[in-house]
Amino acid sequence: MKKSRSGLWITLGMVALVVVPVVIFAAVSSRPKKEVEPGKYDKLAECLTEKGVKMYGAYWCDHCKSQKAMFGDSWQHVNYIECSLAGGQGQTEECREAGIEGYPTWEFGDGERMGGEVALETLAEKSGCELE
C-alpha cells in the first residue's frame, strides 16, 4: 500500500511540474498588450534623423550610454552608427572611413561634428529641431 501511495505522489508531482508552468504561461500571454507610448523626446530624435544628424558610438563607451540615456525611450529614433567590432577589437570600416576618432561623435547634416556628450538643447539648436 505504501509503495502505491509514493508512486501516486511522484506521478502527481510530475504532472504538476508540467501543468503549472503551462497554466501560468497561458495566463500571462492572454493579458492585453500595453500600447507603446511615445518617448518624451520622439519629435526631437525623429527631427535629428530627418536632418541627417547621426551619432557614432561604441557599445562599451560610458559616454555613449549616458548620451543614449538622455533620450530615454526616444533613442530608438536616433540615427546611431555602431563603430566597435565584436569584443571591442577595433573599429568598423564605416567609422574608419568617416574618420571617427572618439565616442560619441555627433555629425550634423552640414558635415560639422561635435564630440563627447552633447546636451539635447545643443543638438536641437545646432540642427534646427525643436526641443519640447
E strand or H helix at 113: strand 113-115
Give the Cα separation of 73 and 70 in Å (integer): 9
pLDDT tens digit sequence for 38-83: 789 999 999 999 999 999 999 999 999 999 999 999 999 999 999 9
* 105 DSSP β-pair partners: 56, 115
Fold of the domain spanning 42-127: Glutaredoxin (3.40.30)
6 Cβ partners below 8 Å, 6+ apart?
Answer: none
Give residue 88's pLDDT.
85
Percent residues over pLDDT 70 in the chain: 73
The domain spans of the chain are: 1-33, 42-127
Q: Assign 37 to helix, strand or coil.
A: coil
Q: Mean pLDDT score of the chain, rounded to an integer?
A: 84
Looking at residue 89, its amino acid is Q
Cα distances from 23 to residues 10, 18, 30, 33, 80, in angstroms, run 20, 9, 11, 18, 41
